[in-house]
Amino acid sequence: MLVTPVGLVVDIAKQNTESRELGEGLITASAFGPHSTGLAVGDDLGRITLWDGAVHNRLGVLTGTSADSETAETGGVAALAFSHDGQTLAVADDGGTVQLWDVASRRLLGSALPTPGDPVRSLAFSSDDTTLYAVGANTSVQAYSLNPDRLAQHVCERAGSGLCARDWRTYLPDVPYRRTCPR
């Protein structure tokens, strides 16, 4: 399949072309999921429309780099990339914000990744999905570790320790206590 910024959907195998409204506004970025399992289309309103792999069924709309639709209009979508397992979608807007989304739940994963502020022009996941790469118009490649063990270690280093048993009971009363950081 091939999609164009004006909404043409081309099925290369069938040599068939159809015109569709793929986004909420003017298309500024698109990415197919692994093995053509889905399509994400970003627009100039900062929203991402998710489609099935055949681009027949609209699955939902994400608010880009923000969970709040009121603040989603910070800029058009500049770049999109699916992880190799198709579970995570990386989104960059014109303002240089990069955000990760859980595709299945359509929820943001954490806060925005720190960037130099330069508009991101391209995103890519490493082959094992543990690193996200972003490059801007005027900045070199930025690498973001997505390795859960490394991220947990980083949080422990910044916080100085994990939750004590008392705080665990306060914030996670339904989850059995376990030590989260080495002391």
Domains in the chain: boundaries: 2-146, 147-183
Token pair in block for residue 25: 């506004």
> What secondary structure letter does DSSP report for 119?
P
Task: Using alpha carbons, select from 131, 24, 116, 125 the residue that is nearest to residue 79.
Answer: 125
Using one digit for the tens of pLDDT, what is the confidence trace for 125-175? 999 999 999 998 888 899 998 887 777 777 777 777 778 888 888 988 888
pLDDT digit string, tens, across residues 66-91: 655 444 445 789 999 999 999 999 99
Give this prediction's pTM: 0.78
| 77 three-class SS | strand
Note the CATH number of domain 2-146: 2.130.10.10
- Residues 48-67, mean pLDDT to the nearest whole number: 84
Task: For residue 90, give the nearest of 129, 123, 135, 49 by alpha carbon.
Answer: 123
Q: Count Cβ atoms below 10 Å from residue 17 Cβ, excluding itself.
A: 12
Gap between the Cα atoms of 64 and 112, Å rounded = 11
